[in-house]
Chains A and B, each alone.
Chain A
Amino acid sequence: MRILRSVRHKVCADGSFMKEFLLDAPVTTGFFSYLRHFGSVEALPGLGEGFYKFEKPEWFSIKGFAGDTTVEVRFRKEVMDLTVDFVYLLFASYREETPDLSVLKLRERAISERVRKHLHGT
């Protein structure tokens, strides 16, 4: 699955920066299950084809409906430059079969250090 382009953006009331991304294929329940490896996922499976929200504290959140070809990503603005590539990587690396998470985990660790340093100075 790939992000094709950003179709909408706004600065939210809480200061976060929202981008709506158009995907090359509908997002699946399996994709949100895969995201659990990197943060928490809330699910309301009874609504439409299922509403899902992934939270990676201090990085970003991703929400959307299964079967939809757009998702809304809300970035913590201060570290958006550090984390935006990881969003693209999450989508591009997803496979229906058991994905290999090793590269993503390495990348996540490296970005985490930079995010922590930027936000907390440690």
Chain B
Amino acid sequence: MQVQTITRRVDPHLAIDLYDPEAELLLLHFGPQHPSTHGVFRMDLYLDGEIVVKVVPYVGYLHRAVEKLCEKLTYAQITPVVDKNDYVAPMTNEQAINMAFEALLGIEVPRRARWIRTIFAEMQRIASHLLWLGTFALDMGGALGGGSTVFLHCFRERELILDLFEDVTGARFHYNTHTVGGNRHDIPAGWSAKVKAALDVIASRLPEYASMTLENRIFIERTRGVGILDGELALELGVTGPILRASGVDHDLRRDAPFHAYDEVKVNVVTRSAGDCLARAQVRLGEIEESIRLVRAMIDGIPEGIINAGRPIKQPAQFKIPAGQVYVGIETPRGELGTYVIADGTANAHRLKIRPPSLHALSALPHILPGATVSDAVVILGSLDPIMGEADR
């Protein structure tokens, strides 16, 4: 990727001074107990009528000191804790943290484990994007209207994937299935047939979603040209994932810095150039299709072998990592989830830093919200797909 020049912009928090000081603005505390803030996000909206003039986002209502907790726990204990960060895509969380430890230890993950991880990651992407589509429709259509119809339909399909994960790990959520050096659970017999059947169902219902959202006139009216984020600003803010790709930047770590088994398959990156909420929806729905294609292509070719480089079944409760530091970034459904670990040779990390894509996505809000109406504010926030568990950690 080429180096981007960073230009200084006016701080949007200060830009309110440019606004007519005589105008009486209405300060609306939006959240943290608002139904559409996707958790406990809060933003203070300064309104002129219904137009947002200024926005001040506040994060931290779900702060659980995860990073500090990770420094206190041993390496083996961390995985189930980080599961709860991005609670919509727990698989990718545990993958990220374990990949960082593997990098520090210099462990080569067996090929079978890498393939399984890739399949898990792609299925998690489908589930996560389905949940996003449902909640995004809720933001626009209300819990008592068409939005909830899309929402429930999306949940119906997401269930199929959670059931498949349950077959492997015994948990529908917070799997704790990745360990340092590989996976804890091997896939059961007949699982791949079930996966293919579930994917067929989801693929057959994708046109239904498209007709209720992307092809729906009201949906288009509500999202086209709303919340435009240009690619350069997105890069400056560190926004990654579908939001960045919807802004015309062709960037996907699965292809640009392959991890797991992504170097063995071809990933088609879905991009759009408009940068608005419609483009983000198109990218995410396109990614569902692409993930279905990837899983279908990989599910029959899972190589035989062991699933863990260390002892195959049980991990030692405590192990030490030699002094050193590493940064590992992987592409989760929301963008680049980075893990930075400084190890000091003991069984605990000296410092563990998680770079959540949601936090960076939220940082775009002060730039793209002013000028929109309150209705649009909800749509724009929804289109960023923030998960507060990971933004606040």
Binding between chains A and B? no
Interfacial residues, chain A to chain B (CB-CB below 8 A): none
Interfacial residues, chain B to chain A (CB-CB below 8 A): none
